[in-house]
Structure 1
Amino acid sequence: MTVPVPVTRTLDLTVAGRRVPTPCDVLGEGSEALLLPALSSISAREEMLPLARALSGSHRCLLPDWPGFGAHDRARVPLEPATFHAFLDALLAAAPGPYALGIAAGHAAGYLVAAAARHPQTFQKLVLIAPTWRGPLPTAMGEARRPWFGRIRKAVEMPVVGEALYRANISRPVIGKMMRAHVFADSAHVTPEVIADKHRITRQRGGRFGTAAFVTGGLDPVDSREAFLDLFGRDVPPVLVLRSESAPRRSGAEMDALCASGRVVARRIPGALSPHEEFSRETAAAIRAA
């Protein structure tokens, strides 16, 4: 069987008053689908390729990188929620669809749902894969320590010292440990080749800024579970939530709260925080079956 090969195009967007060249992969034939990667230290559109290939027989998939993330030179923009909302507005102006599917992984979930409310009729259906809304440090350490998170972010953003701190925390052994702990469910899937690919993403110039913002909660689209659930109102199309079975305990609890809200349809799939990458066929099957 021939493996579909993506075609890469660049959208010249303007976000927060700055030019943001946005590389996108286009793959497949059929109804339009927008696939948004998760936000993380190893975030890149390439993580969505396995799912895009699994959907390529029925959908023409568009896979963009987020500003400040990806395996390429990154435009410097204010790394804050307003920028990411504005980015999706610019993206949808340049590539308006309409889309049969809007698919978002992890932290992209809240941004996609908000964009769907701002752009009625753009999406027929939303699919949220292992959705999260709270960054790693606030999730692990609690809101009481939030004043420290800003200090940590500023330290990582500092010249010289910040780069040293960043590189110490994105070495190949650290990436492998992180992926085995909560990104992939099966440690056998965390191969040296996978780690090398993820490490390449983190080595992009300016990579520490996106990581610092995400890890400290600076890119959280909302500030509470209640605010996250409130995104799912009458103004959004039908939502399918794919709850990964091996998600970390605290992130899984937020997924369960959303699934129990009565505002979405929920299905369980294998995987941890990146099931679209690790179990792409199962993820695609769940999307087609819903």
Structure 2
Amino acid sequence: MVEPAHATRTLSLDVAGRRVPTPCDVVGHGPEALLLPALSSISARAEMRALAKDLGHEFRCLIPDWPGFGDQPRARLPLRPDTFHAFLDALLAALPGPYALGIAAGHAAPYLVAAARRHPDRFRRLILVAPTWRGPLPTVMGPERRGLFRSLRRLVETPFLGDVLYRINISPPVIRRMMRAHVYADPAHVTPGVIADKHAITRQPGGRFGTAAFVTGALDPVETREDFLALFEGRLPPVRVLRPERAPRRSGAEMDALVATGRVVKVTVPGALSPHEEYAGEVAAAIRAAA
């Protein structure tokens, strides 16, 4: 099958009082679909490309990079939830849709849901792939250590020492362990090429700031499970949650709590925290079933 057309454009968005260059891939043709990559040390819009190529035969897929993340030098912005809400507002002003699909992975999911609440009728359906709302350290260590997390973030943001610590913690061996532990389900898929691509993402200038904010929970859009579930109350488009079979225990429990509310429809897919990347074909099939 011939691959759908693929182009890249750069938007100039006004976010937090600054003009933010925002690369955006455009893949395929048909009704528009907005695809939001996850937020993490190794995330960029490239992680959505295989999925977009599959969906691109039926949809025109738009894939932006988040500010402070991606495979380009990072603009310095206040990395906090209100900046990311403002970013989506600016993005939807520049690319208003309407969208047949809004698709978001990981931490992007609650931001997409909040945007759908602020912009009624902009999305016909929402697809949340392995949705999360809590950063790695709060997930593992608990929210009561927020003071420690803030100190760690400041340490990574300091000149010189912070960059040294960041380089140690995003080395290829660390990336390999992380991906095998909870990003991919099949260790055989964590190839040297995949690791090299992910390491290149982390080496973009300014990369440590987004990583420090995400890992310490500073980009968590809500503070409690109750607040997360409350995002799904009231008027929203139909929401489908793609729940990976091998999601880590704590993250999987949050997905299951959301499903238990009855406000979303659950579809089980293979994978761990990045099924849209590791099992793009299966995820695309699950999305088509919902469209």
TM value normalised by structure 1: 0.99
Identity of aligned residues (%): 72
1:83 maps to a residue whose letter is T
The Cα offsets for residues 135-162 of structure 1, whole Å up to 9 and x where unpaired, read as: 0000001112221000000000000000
Distance 1:232 1:199 in 2: 35
Distance 2:235 2:219 in 1: 23
2:12 maps to a residue whose letter is D
Shift of 1:3: 3.1
Q: Does 1:15 align with 2:15?
A: yes
| SS at 2:124 equivalent | coil
Contact 2:79 / 2:219 at 8 angstroms: preserved in 1? yes
- Within a 5 Å distance, the mapping from 1:139-178 to structure 2 comes to 139-178=139-178
Distance 2:5 2:206 in 1: 29
Distance 2:268 2:146 in 1: 32
Aligned to 1:55: 55
Shift of 1:5: 4.8
The Cα offsets for residues 215-242 of structure 1, whole Å up to 9 and x where unpaired, read as: 0000000000000000002221110000
The Cα offsets for residues 243-282 of structure 1, whole Å up to 9 and x where unpaired, read as: 0010000000000000111110111000000000000010
1:265 maps to a residue whose letter is V
| SS at 1:124 equivalent | strand
| SS at 1:146 equivalent | helix
Shift of 1:4: 3.3
Distance 2:54 2:244 in 1: 18
Aligned to 2:86: 86
* Number of positions where the alignment pairs a residue of Structure 1 with one of Structure 2: 290
Distance 1:100 1:264 in 2: 17
Aligned to 1:67: 67
Aligned to 2:114: 114
Contact 2:4 / 2:57 at 8 angstroms: preserved in 1? no
Distance 1:184 1:46 in 2: 16
Aligned to 1:42: 42
Shift of 1:2: 3.0
The Cα offsets for residues 53-112 of structure 1, whole Å up to 9 and x where unpaired, read as: 110111000000000000001111100000000000000000000000000000001100
1:260 maps to a residue whose letter is A
Distance 2:146 2:76 in 1: 25
1:201 maps to a residue whose letter is I
Aligned to 1:95: 95
Gaps of 5+ in 1: none
Aligned to 1:235: 235
Distance 2:289 2:125 in 1: 13
Contact 2:244 / 2:271 at 8 angstroms: preserved in 1? yes
Aligned to 1:28: 28
Aligned to 1:246: 246
Gaps of 5+ in 2: none
Contact 2:4 / 2:29 at 8 angstroms: preserved in 1? no
Distance 1:235 1:84 in 2: 22
